[in-house]
Structure 1
Amino acid sequence: MKKRYVLLIVPFLLYVALLGVLPQMEPDEVRYSLIAGEMNETGNYVTPRIKNTIYLEKPPLVSWATAASFKIFGENDFSARLFSGLCAWGCILLVFWIGRRFRDERTGLYAAAVLTISAFPFVLGRINILDMPLTLFLCLAVWLGYLSVAGEKNRWFSYGFYFACALAFLTKGIVGVVFPFAILGIWLVWERRWRSLPRLISPVGILIFLAAVCPWLYLAQKENPDFLWFFFVREHFLRFTTQMHGKTEPFYYFLPVLIGGTLPWSVFLIRAWQPAKWKEAFFRKEGNRFLAVWFLFIFLFYTVSSSKLVTYIAPVFLPLALFAGNIFCSYEEAPTEPAGKRGALYRLLLWVQFLVIVAAMLLPPVLKQYHDPSLGLVIMISDACWWIYVLPVFAAAGLMAFIPDWTARQKGTGWFLSVYLLCCLLLAGLLFPLNDFLSPYRSALVAKEAIARHVPQGKLLYQYRVNFYGIDFYNKIRTPIVEDFGEMGDGIAKLPEAERKTYFLSRQDFFEKVRQKKEIYCITQHEARLRELRAQFARMDILWENGAFYLLRIRHEGKGWKPYEDS
């Protein structure tokens, strides 16, 4: 494989050029876009705000980068995701660097290719959230820390280690500092390199770290007297030691995430794995232990943590790609056909993967107009476009089942290259049906034109028991929220009373507001909430709906209203 394709051209196409295919999804993506937009609007880059409420749960580095992207490219889906996409690209380059250092350039290319076609980083690298930037900076810190204690005589590796820790801290907090030091410390103990432990501590490095993070900490505390307790105690210590955030999951939660995140290439690993040459599939002992500690520490930490989210284990996919890339590289040096049970399992899983992909593409048309409010799921797809969108997916999935093996038999080379290219085609092709599937109910972009057309200029648009940040982002308005405040609760409490009563209402307050104003525009989601409103108001016009969103005009004429009673 040629370096420029694996490291430059394909990552650019997958992780940058296609960023705007899907609109931003609720709620996380648009939350960070709205924060960045408000930073540019207010000129305050110290205290993040969302809907004018203080939001100090996370540090501001990603918001700063997104705000800069908005300044350059305007506020749109592409510019909102650009920093995350570039960080995913950075992870690919980092994996190449590590693979080349541990073995050779060819191994680095294979490892970079594996990470490029892994479903987990492919998805995460096109979402405007914190986890892909954190993954880049945290993993860069781990690697630079390794180089600084692994016999390299260049002190700049140590300085870079501390600076990368600072960037990771400014992305998502103290995890960006604790994890690199913990991984490197455990690895050095395992290697019995006790004398190298003090080399992790660098006075100059500490000064670099403090110079990078302290200005924001100082200014944030100056503007918000409760910041340090809120940020360090509640959002770090209590988040991972208690269930206060309600993100509890079973201990095996990350296992299916790990398996699914390595698709579609992981099926081909069965062919590439050669038990007779298992020693060649790994790096030298030092490298194996380092990558193993990197992977296991992060995976086990979040497994036992009280707080679990899918995105938390993103940094484990880099060492995983290095191991897998080395296996693929070793296999291609002397490829053989898998025989016996291994060959049967390989062929079975190839076709199982193909059938699962086909079934996933056929299911939405079968379940069209399916609603499940408990899951927040509404299936609405376009009949004509859907089949156009899924044809490249069917083609890529079908070709993956026989083209790589046919290439190996006919030419003796090019097996992994065909795997790589077909996986790229599959992942890129999936974006278009995903857009058709997710956008109608997970993105507020679908309501943008209807809101502009039906809601008079200057009229407030209320969000009834929903909170779609995208309505504010795409329509450039501020919408009052009725009873779905989410993570804004702490910031709302700090607002002036008049602003709270205007923009953050209980249901009772909202119903009173309708009675006082006589006419109100609002948007909501799911028929159950629509029925709630019908039960309160006799005159309610549906101005626009798509089966998931409902844009309403509610009128009150002194009758047909009763005080709300919470059941």
Structure 2
Amino acid sequence: MSRTQTKAFLYFTALILFVITLRIILMTSMPLLDTTEARYGELARVTATGHYWLMPHMSASQPFFAKPPLATWFAASSWLAFGHNEFALRLPSLLLVLLSCLALLYGAQSLKMTRQQWLLASFVMLTAPIGFISAGAVMTDATQLAVVTWAMVLLWRLQTCAEPSTLDQYGLWAVLGIGAIAKGLATWVLIGLPVLLFWACSSRAIIYQHIKKIWFWPGILLFIGLVLAWYIPAEIYYPGFLKYFIIGEHFQRFLEPGWKGDMYGIAHRQAIGMVWVYWAVSIAIWLPIFIHGIVKDKPLINASLDTQTKWLWAWVLAPLLFFTLSRNIIWTYTLTALPAFALLTANFWPTLSSRFKKAMQVLIAAWLILATVASLIWIPQQAENRSARKLIQQAQSDYPNLPLYAYSSDEFSVSYYTKGNVHVVDDYNAVITLLQQPDKLLITSKKLAPQLAAKEQAAIIGSNNYHALLMTRHQ
């Protein structure tokens, strides 16, 4: 490696370590945010303490059918191993995003990628907002990202090799089996759609050779075994799981705007095509390179593109095109497109004009400064307003002997920070009756708190942007 290459290698390594350090600071300092993070954090806590390892539980009486258990297994195991804290819950997500970066390194030779290009691609993944947030949030998305990235890299290695590697064939089918326990059919769709799009832009000979190298009976049997090993016991011990998970979560969620059958949250009704807005926000400072690439390569209509570039564009565009007509989406649905976009960025970078590079360097520097300030000051402060942590700490410190109730509030962080020791009230009349009793604590939404306090002579003793803590009058 030349002196210039060594300098570039050390430069990108230092930048990546810096970004990871910022992420670790946030993982340590921030409370679990309502609703998503706190929901999955509480799911992990209940699963670990209740030993619900076959099917994660939201409570002793409520199994969680919305997602397979892999991400919860990771979070719950880390929580038990490294302490009952937010960092332990978030650690698997960071490791899984880094594992996705390692997948790109494993495929570097077949992708004709130097170590410097791999580092740049990893830097893009970690600095794109969707990657930075996912690398350290208690969600299922980092697990799916790792599965999809490894599957796509293994598929490409099989495409480019003269003789298929048995290790890669076993690895591909093992990853597909693991994908069923990560996010179910959605994971297979996010792997299969880019492949189908690539085949649609390829010759019959390429398609035939690819299928021939993928098809591997020992691997297929391994895949079937991995899938059935969890899904059969899950349905036996929890009848009705498969119907809700397969039909509800995979079809009704996307085909029915504002789907009413969601047992664990609220269906998200968005405008058609919103996924492209989410994608622009997801990659943020790297958006100019995406636009540059679209104009330069004209993917899907440019027959002269080389095979690798077609593969990467199919990987980027397939999930975006798939979710274009879907209205029940969230911004993390763009995450699996990020690794391929990072690889395209690494390929485009040497071809950019010096003026374009300088502009991008200014954007990157501005982002790093903003991310540093935000990670140390602004984000932790804002995060406290999206969680009940401080209010719970106040209640436990100042009034340790008073019972705590929750009504009309995002109760996941309340439940997590009280270790489940909170009485959830579902009925408004029951809350009115409760507030007529002396020496009771109630956490509710900030909007509702003034109304309750005015009617029933309760006092607001603490609040943030989303929650309020009330105490009824003394006896």
- TM-score between the two structures when normalised by the length of structure 2: 0.85
SS at match of 2:28: coil
1:44 to 52, 56, 62: 52
Question: Where does structure 2 lack aligned partners over 5 or more consecutive residues?
Answer: 1-7, 261-266
Give the equivalent residue in structure 2 for 1:54: 63
Q: Percent identity?
A: 19
Provide the residue aligned with 2:136 in structure 1: 126
AA of the residue aligned to 1:325: A
Cα displacement string for residues 424-444 of structure 1 (whole angstroms, at most 9, x for unaligned residues): 443233223432552342011
Matches within 5 A, 1:174-323: 174-192=185-203, 193-196=206-209, 197-243=211-257, 244=259, 246-267=267-288, 285-323=306-344
8 Å CA contact retained: 1:92, 1:116: no
Deviation at 1:531, TM superposition (A): 0.7
Q: What's 2:443 paired with?
A: 523
Deviation per CA, 1:277-328, whole angstroms, max 9, x where unpaired?
999xxx9711111111111211111112242111111111111111112111
- Does the CA-based 8 Å contact 2:126-2:135 persist in structure 1? no
Query: Which residue in the other structure is 2:168 paired with?
Result: 157
**Which residue in 1 is equivalent to 2:388?**
444
Superposed displacement of residue 7, structure 1: 9.0
Deviations, residues 99-143 of structure 1 (Å, cap 9, x unaligned): 553223133232222222212211222211111221121121122
Q: Secondary structure at the match of 2:458?
A: strand
Inter-partner Cα distance in structure 2 for 1:423 and 1:268: 15
Quote how far apart the aligned CAs of 1:97 are.
4.3
Distance 2:15 2:107 in 1: 14
| CA distance in 2 between partners of 1:556 and 1:55 (Å) | 40
CA–CA distance in 1 between the matches of 2:296 and 2:88? 49
CA distance in 2 between counterparts of 1:427 and 1:534 reads 42
CA distance in 1, matches of 2:410, 2:385: 13
Partner of 1:324: 345
Distance across 1 between alignment mates of 2:332 and 2:178: 18
Larger Rg: 1
Q: Number of aligned residue pairs: give it.
A: 451
Amino acid at match of 1:181: G
Question: Residues of 2 paired with 1:215 and 1:435: CA distance?
Answer: 41
- Other-structure match for 1:379: none
* Counterpart-to-counterpart distance in 2, 1:202 and 1:330: 39
Q: Tell me how far 1:261 sits from its aligned partner.
A: 2.2
Aligned partners of 1:131 and 1:314 also within 8 Å: yes
TM-align CA RMSD: 3.2
Contact 1:295/1:319 (8 A) holds in 2? yes
**Residues 495-539 of structure 1: CA distance to partner in whole angstroms, max 9, x if unpaired?**
xxxxxxxxxx31123334556x6553211122444314532x2x3
Asked if 2 retains the 8 angstrom alpha-carbon contact of 1:541 and 1:554, the reply is yes
- Contact 2:130/2:283 (<8 A) preserved: yes
2:38 to 3, 9, 30: 30
Q: Does 1:469 align with 2:412?
A: yes
| Structure 1 residues 24-103: aligned runs within 5 Å | 24-52=32-60, 53-98=62-107, 100-103=109-112
What's 1:434 paired with? 378
Residues 174, 222 of structure 2: 8 Å contact kept: yes
1:248 partner SS: coil
Shift of 1:162: 1.6
Secondary structure of the residue aligned to 2:443 is: strand
* Matched residue, 1:551: 469
Secondary structure of 1:524 counterpart: strand
* Whole-angstrom CA distance in 1 between matches of 2:334 and 2:179: 15
Match of 2:4 in 1: none
Partner of 2:117: 107
Given that residues 462 and 470 in structure 2 are in contact (C-alpha distance below 8 angstroms), is that contact kept between their aligned partners in structure 1? Answer: yes
Please list the CA deviations of residues 464-505 of structure 1 after superposition, one character each: whole Å capped at 9, or x if unmatched. Answer: 2113311222232432223xxxxxxxxxxxxxxxxxxxxxx3
TM-score, length basis structure 1: 0.72
Displacement of 1:89: 1.7
Of residues 186-195 and 136-145 in structure 1, the stretch that sits farther from structure 2 once superposed is: 186-195
Deviations 1:314-359 (A, max 9, x none): 111111111112111334xxx6346xxxxxxx9xxxxxxxxxxxxx
Q: 2:174 matched to 1:167? A: no
Mapping of residues 303-382 of structure 1, within 5 Å = 303-331=324-352, 336-337=354-355
SS in 1 for 2:271: coil
1:455-466 alignment runs, 5 A limit? 455-457=399-401, 459-466=402-409
Measure, in 2, the Cα distance between the counterparts of 1:277 and 1:183. 17
Cα gap change, 1:434 to 1:220, in 2 (>3 Å): farther
Cα deviations by residue, 1:260-291 (Å, 9 ceiling, x for unpaired): 22222445789x98x99999xxx971111111
